[in-house]
Amino acid sequence: MIIYDGIKTDFMKDVRDNLICNKIYEQYQKYFGHTTEPQMRAWQNSMQYMRNVLDSEKIPDNCGVAIEYNIPTTSKRIDFILTGIDTNEKKNVVIIELKQWDDCSAVDAEDAVVVETYVGGGMRRTPHPSYQAWSYSVYINNYVESTQDGKMNLLPCAFLHNYHFKENDPILSEQYKDYIEAAPMFGAEDFPKLREFITKHIKKGDNGKTIYEIDHGRFRPSKSLQDCLASMLNGNEEFVLIDDQKVAYETAMKMAAEAIAFNRKKVLIVEGGPGTGKSVLAINLLVNLIKKDATTFYVTRNGTPRAVFRKKLQGDFKKDFIESCFQNSGNFYQVESNSIDALVVDEAHRLTEKSGFMSNLGENQIKEIINAAKFSVFFIDEDQKVTLKDIGTIDSIKKFANELGAECETIELESQFRCNGSDGYLAWLDNLLDIRKTANFDNMDFNYDFKVFDDPNEMREAIIEKNKTNNKSRIVAGYCWNWIKEGKNDTNFYDITIPKYQFGMSWNLGDKSQTWAIEPDSVNEAGCIHTCQGLELDYVGVIVGDDLIYRDGKIMTDVTKRASTDQSIKGYKKMLAQDPEGTTALLDKIIKDTYKVLMTRGMKGCYVFCTDDELRDHIKEVTQNQ
């Protein structure tokens, strides 16, 4: 979908006559609803700058112009596109990401793609403009069929028309070099350079025909993407299906085929506890649905599983083959109904109502996902909701499936692959944390390496020793210590301190937070619920903070001991004032569920240290009864 399209002469006239902003606004309102004053001003300003850039006889009058191109099946839009023909008679598409910025700072972040600038009324982290333009081009090339025959070039760039580059400017830092090379960046003094970039690739006009081909092209995964993912999966032993995973897989594939063939919306709910293979199954479905030409995306709210799977699946392949396969759950609030063949939703219990930076976009992520796809599969464990915003439940999925006329089925995964395959350990843990009563409270009759340590230093040494085997052992902690900004990239800066034992440890480093579980040296930093949920380790060492204690023969929680930097319980005081009983029960469950998640990350063993002496003694007493 394109908000405005035409040729250069149309665009130049509309800007000259001061009509361009109104024309964009009228179409935008028609398709997306009301927009904001800042967006209106951005259109007004940026279009004047683009007119000045295009005001050259070297740029053909009949080259195609598109503004606000809505990338298929996403809520993302490309600011400005120019199309034409080069000297080799090849169709070229110049993708221009427009920015109003006048200043920014570099951010040490995963994959070096994030900068910080003033946007949306405050300082925010946002993708680097070159990365943004490049990622849009990759996405289109991977999924819009008309770009895949080798007869069309996508040429991304970024135009920061208010930005005056300084010496040693952070936006030009070495960490962004690869993306700037892939998508050149032009500033306030670079009008001639941007004009030269355009004229280099567009020698003749195409009367907007290339834009039409893109906008009306079939949406499907490219052959190269299919081959790449298939090769990755075939060489990765971690993604083999067994037992009820295979049953769930075949059920999902059958439902997907029927939904796509007959355009009949279907929903599958796959319920399973920790270690039942939900994520393994999700990745298999992603790959094999794409192999069958189905437009499919892997979806999570939490960025950590997406980042880890991307890194695991890359192998020897460039990431642009698979980058667009992994989507945030908030990307579907403006997506047309049934425009996607299949959505594979992992960690569905973590879905929220609203999307966007300010949580002010969309209506409900569950509803939006079901609406967008012909087939959607939700992998869910209701005992893993760990923030006040988590709203994913089986009942809510069924409710929205019914509202949208979707056939809905539910299947349960029972086979246990984590915690040494011990269902007994999970039952014992439920009872220990007072999540639910089971028959295993007084009897640890399971083959799982569970130990309670009196000293956190000893537990750390034990985990470090286990990690030497294959880099699959880590320490995690309850979120009872602030994540201090000044030390976010210094492993020797101790966020977590337990003075009684002269223990200190850094939280996971900010520049590798999403891939902490697989980084070579991250055994020296502690992960939290946000960096390990949805992932698995061999051994996990858990530091239980003061938010979980033992008093008068009962496990108790204390939400006031959670760190002020923990966003998962933000707003709880207001909720307590409005509904003391209900909110107290919800906070109690979130804390207990958080520790259950942390204590079930290890496939082979879990080592525990509790800051509360009484809780530590209680768990030791229970474990000695085995």
Confidence tier at 485 by pLDDT (50, 70, 90): confident
Of 219-223, 381-385, 552-556, minimum mean pLDDT range:
219-223
Confidence of residue 611 (pLDDT cuts 50, 70, 90): very high
Over residues 69-94, the pLDDT tens digits come to 988 767 678 999 999 999 999 999 99
The residue to which tokens 């056939």 are assigned: 407
The reported pLDDT for the residue numbered 460 is: 97
For residues 264 and 233, the model is more confident at: 264
| Greater pLDDT, 106 or 223 | 106
pLDDT (mean) for 399-426:
80
Q: Check pLDDT > 80 for residue 220.
A: no
Domain boundary (172, 190, 215) is at 215
- Mean pLDDT for all residues in the chain: 87
Q: What is the rounded CA–CA span in Å between residue 230 and residue 224?
A: 10
Same domain as 446, residue 405? no
Confidence of residue 113 (pLDDT cuts 50, 70, 90): low
Residue 490, both tokens: 């210094």
Q: Among 385, 367, 388, 363, which Cα is nearest to 376's?
A: 367
Query: For 142-159, what is the mean pLDDT?
Result: 87
- According to DSSP, the β-strands at 266-272 and 407-413 are parallel
Which range scores top for mean pLDDT: 110-124, 172-186, 428-442?
172-186
In terms of residue numbers, what domain contains 128?
2-215
Residue 241 has pLDDT above 90, yes or no: no
Answer yes or no: do 479 and 361 share one domain.
Answer: no
Q: Residue 461: how many CB atoms within 10 A of its CB? A: 13
pLDDT number for residue 36: 77
**Quick one: pLDDT at residue 231?**
62
- Side chain identity at residue 618, one-letter code: H
Q: Which of 387, 413, 439 is the last residue of a domain?
A: 413
| Of 496 and 444, more confident | 496
Distance CA 60, CA 208 (A): 12
* Cα angle, residue 350 at apex, residues 369 and 482 outer, rounded to 5°: 140
Verify that 182 and 278 share a domain, yes or no.
Answer: no
Regarding whether 183 and 36 lie in a shared domain, the answer is yes
Nearest in space to 586 (alpha carbons), one of 598, 597, 572, 599: 572
Instruction: Tell me which of 103-112, 473-482, 535-544, 560-569 is least confident.
Output: 103-112
pLDDT band at 30 (very low <50, low <70, confident <90, very high): confident
Same domain membership, residue 473 and residue 380: no
- CATH code of the domain covering residue 264: 3.40.50.300
**Pair (491, 446) in one structural domain:** yes
| pLDDT of 279 strictly over 60 | yes
Mean pLDDT over 147-153 rounds to: 83
Question: Tell me, what amino acid is at 187?
Answer: G
Instruction: Give the domain-ending residue among 164, 181, 215.
Output: 215
pLDDT of residue 316: 46
Question: How do residues 344-375 score in pLDDT, each as one tens digit?
Answer: 999 999 999 998 777 788 999 999 999 999 99
- 172 and 74 inside one domain: yes
d(CA 126, CA 27) in angstroms, rounded, equals 27
Strand, helix or coil at 95? Answer: strand
DSSP E strand stretches across 111-248? 114-119, 122-127, 152-160, 185-186
Task: State the Cα–Cα distance between residues 201 and 193, nearest whole angstrom.
Answer: 13
Token digits for 197? 């970039």
Residue 142's nearest CA partner among 66, 199, 221, 81 is: 221
Query: How confident is the model at residue 92, as a pLDDT?
Result: 95
Q: What pLDDT does residue 242 have? A: 62
pTM over the 0.85 mark: no
Mean pLDDT computed over 191-201: 96
Among candidates 611, 559, 565, which has minimal Cα distance to 585?
559
How many other β-carbons are positioned within 10 Å of the β-carbon of residue 468?
9
390: its two tokens: 């988590």
CB 530 within 8 A of CB 347: no
Q: For residue 120, what pLDDT is reported?
A: 65
Residue 281 and residue 204 share a domain: no
Among positive and negative, which fits the CA dihedral 284, 289, 291, 296? negative
pLDDT at 38 over 70: yes
CA 235/CA 239 separation, integer angstroms? 9
Q: What is the mean pLDDT of residues 50-60?
A: 95
Note whether 489 and 548 are same-domain residues.
yes
In contact, 333 and 366? CB cutoff 8 Å: no
pLDDT of 441 reads 46
Residue 360 half-sphere exposure toward CB, CA atoms < 13 A: 4
The mean per-residue pLDDT over the stretch 607-614 comes to 97
Taking a C-beta distance cutoff of 8 angstroms, is the pair 384, 347 a contact?
Answer: yes
Same-domain check for residues 157 and 271: no
Weakest-pLDDT range from 204-213, 226-235, 525-534: 226-235
Report which of residues 144 and 298 the model is more confident about. 298
612 pLDDT tier (thresholds 50, 70, 90): very high
pLDDT exceeds 60 at position 287: yes
* Whether the Cβ atoms of residue 183 and residue 157 lie closer than 8 Å to each other: yes
Q: Same structural domain for residues 303 and 429?
A: no
Total count of domains within the chain: 3
**Residue 626 banded pLDDT, cuts 50, 70, 90:** very low
Question: Which pairing describes strands 602-610 and 449-452: parallel, antiparallel, or unpaired?
Answer: parallel
Same structural domain for residues 189 and 44?
yes
Quickly count: other Cβ atoms within 10 Å of residue 575's Cβ: 16
CA–CA distance, 194 with 285 (Å, rounded to integer): 43
- Average pLDDT over every residue of 34-43: 82
Average pLDDT over residues 379-400: 93
Q: Where are the extended beta strands (E) located within 264-380?
A: 266-272, 296-300, 326-328, 340-345, 373-380
- Beta bridge partner(s), residue 274: none
Report yes or no: 187 and 213 within 8 Å, Cβ to Cβ.
no
As a whole number of angstroms, the distance between CA 404 and CA 371 comes to: 7
Share of the chain above pLDDT 70, in %: 88
**What are the two backbone dihedrals, phi and then psi, of residue 623, each rounded to the nearest 5 degrees?**
-70, -25
**Where does the pLDDT of residue 622 fall: very low under 50, low under 70, confident under 90, or very high at 90 and above?**
confident
